[in-house]
Structure 1
Amino acid sequence: MDFEWAQLRERCLVAEDAAVLALNKPAGISVTGERHDTDMVEMAAAQGETLYPVHRIDKVTSGLVLMAKELAAHGELTRQFNKRTAEKAYLAITASTGLPERGVIDLPLSVGRKNRVRIAAPRESIRRDGDTWRVDEADVLAGKNYPSVTEFAALAATDEHTVLALRPISGRRHQIRVHLAWIGHPIVGDPLFDRSGAYPRTHLHSWRLRLDASWRTPPVLDLEAVPEADFWAVGAIPVTTDPAALLGRAVALTTPTRNL
């Protein structure tokens, strides 16, 4: 995707103040640190703007990216991600049906061959207990693993797809993508699990962020990035004719407690 930084910044702006910049990143652009890719931080630096990423989302994922313009704000915000007090919500479209209205995926992650994230247990050991997917502790593979929990709510379904709102409680690398795929509900167009190239993008979107921000009045950042039309179009067919109503339902499911 070929954008000049000024054009990308203007088109994708969600919120900005003296300390932070929030953008609605298109799928296909890296945030920072991707080998062999020009990323957003480099693009900004080339135009004289220094930005410090508060968090990362994958290149294939669209949606909210929060960057600090000064180090004091960066430290305050990243501590909330590290302590897992930042509230995050994502949207995804799965290439499947049959998910419950609400569910929890409680599966530890590990890193396997070629640095690939996987569930830290044999696939056949994953069991569904009510509307929670888990593995017994005895089935967790030896070695380093990371407890990981994703909560979700099903917003809509067609004959072939389901639209989900998700909250990654633990926020591990590739967590939502791996969790959904390993329980049999992969995200449409996810290259980690679908090498066909049949879809122009991965249908995962960083939708909402809420963090404390001491320099603001009131002292909070409450951000939302509305998905663009390409998120809703699975191939040439939209999964909903009324995205605004669907997002309204998603907000209702996360307010006031913000728990899915």
Structure 2
Amino acid sequence: MQSEYTPPDTPLDVLHEDHEVLAVVKPDGLLSVPGKGAHLADCLLTRVQAAFPTALLVHRLDRDTSGVMVFALTDHAQRFLSKEFEERRARKTYVARVAGRLEPKIGAVDLPLIVDWPNRPRQMVCHETGKPSLTEYRVLKAADGESRVRLWPRTGRTHQLRVHMLALGHPILGDPLYAPDAGFARMMLHAEELRLSHPESGRGMSFRAKAPF
């Protein structure tokens, strides 16, 4: 189960800022957008807007995932960047620590996903009604009953990486929904790099933040 919401009191970590695009590092334990209720009001979006009042949401990361997030600073940039994600031109790279020794060392998970309605917000694999979902992975190293992996989601389903790793029998360590008894202080999933095009110049941009684990 999700733990009580106690967001980290950390300063805003800005990777890039220009007149159209802002890239920051989201800490783990902080919502991307406000939840329902005043106790879930603190989030990365409101913190960003306190410093950059014109900032607009483009995409999200799960509360317990850390890493690179971009925000638009104009309406035009929001439309452009949103389309980059919708049409899968944005390229996302994650790093995770998962349980067990993942074999083979290079592979892909092609399993359709859908919300598990009785157990929301959990998601599940469903071959009848699930939406197509594809994750590619590479094992970076494996030792002591766990593997460090790099993950490339080719689709953007809710909890995609978390459920795909669980489906392989190698849940992400510290995952409060899918591996709740692991005994880790945080979920070991980090959005390491994001590549997309600039909304004005069309030039490719790459934002990167090293995993803190």
Q: TM-score, normalising length from structure 2?
A: 0.88
Q: Given residue 119 of structure 2, which amino acid in structure 1 is its aligned partner? A: K
Give the whole-Å Cα distance in 1 for the aligned partners of 2:51 and 2:154.
36
Residues 2 and 148 of structure 1, relative CA distance in 2, 3 Å threshold: closer
Instruction: Pick the aligned partner of 2:85 from 68, 78, 81.
Output: 81
Within 2, Cα distance between the matches of 1:89 and 1:47?
Answer: 27
Partner of residue 226, structure 1: 210
Work out the CA distance in 1 between the residues paired with 2:28 and 2:91.
Answer: 22
Q: 1:185 to 1:21 in 2, by over 3 A?
A: same
The answer to whether 1:71 aligns with 2:75 is yes
Cα deviations by residue, 1:96-120 (Å, 9 ceiling, x for unpaired): 1132220010000011223321011
What residue identity is the alignment partner of 1:30? Answer: L
CA distance in 1 between partners of 2:77 and 2:51 (Å): 22
Q: CA deviation at 1:89?
A: 0.8
**Mapping of residues 1-260 of structure 1, within 5 Å:** 1-3=7-9, 8-9=11-12, 12-35=13-36, 36-37=39-40, 38-46=42-50, 49-112=53-116, 113-115=118-120, 116-120=122-126, 140-141=127-128, 144-196=129-181, 198-216=183-201, 219-228=203-212, 231=213
Matched-pair identity in %: 34
Cα RMSD, aligned residues only: 1.8
Deviation at 1:42, TM superposition (A): 2.0
* Higher-Rg member (1/2): 1
Structure 1: state its 5+ residue gaps.
121-139, 232-260
Displacement of 1:162 in angstroms is 0.4
SS in 2 for 1:42: helix
* Shift in Å, 1:195: 2.4
- Provide closer, same or farther for how the CA distance between residues 223 and 45 of structure 1 changes in structure 2, counting only shifts above 3 A: closer
| Structure 2 unaligned spans of 5+ | 1-6
- CA drift of 1:46 comes to 4.7
Further displaced range: 43-52 or 77-86: 43-52
More helix by share: 1
TM norm structure 1 = 0.73
User: 2:150, 2:156 → 1: CA distance?
Assistant: 15
C-alpha spacing 1:111/1:13, structure 2 compared with 1 (3 Å):
same
The alpha carbon displacement at 1:71 in A equals 1.1
Which residue of 2 is the match for residue 127 of structure 1?
none
**Alignment partner of 1:177: what SS?**
helix
Contact 2:96–2:172, Cα closer than 8 Å, also in 1: yes
Query: Counterparts of 2:136 and 2:43 in 1: how far apart (Å)?
Result: 30
User: Could you list the per-position Cα deviations for residues 147-179 of structure 1 after superposition, in whole angstroms to 9, with x for gaps in the alignment?
Assistant: 001000011111211011110001111000000
Ranges of 4+ aligned residues in structure 1 off by more than 3 Å:
44-48
1:197/1:186 Cα in 2 relative to 1: closer, same or farther (>3 Å)?
closer
Cα displacement string for residues 60-103 of structure 1 (whole angstroms, at most 9, x for unaligned residues): 00100111111111110110100111111111100111322200
Matched positions, count: 202
DSSP 3-state at the match of 1:8: coil
Alpha-carbon distance in structure 2 between the residues aligned to 1:46 and 1:77:
21
Change (3 A) 1:2 1:103: closer
Shift of 1:48: 6.7
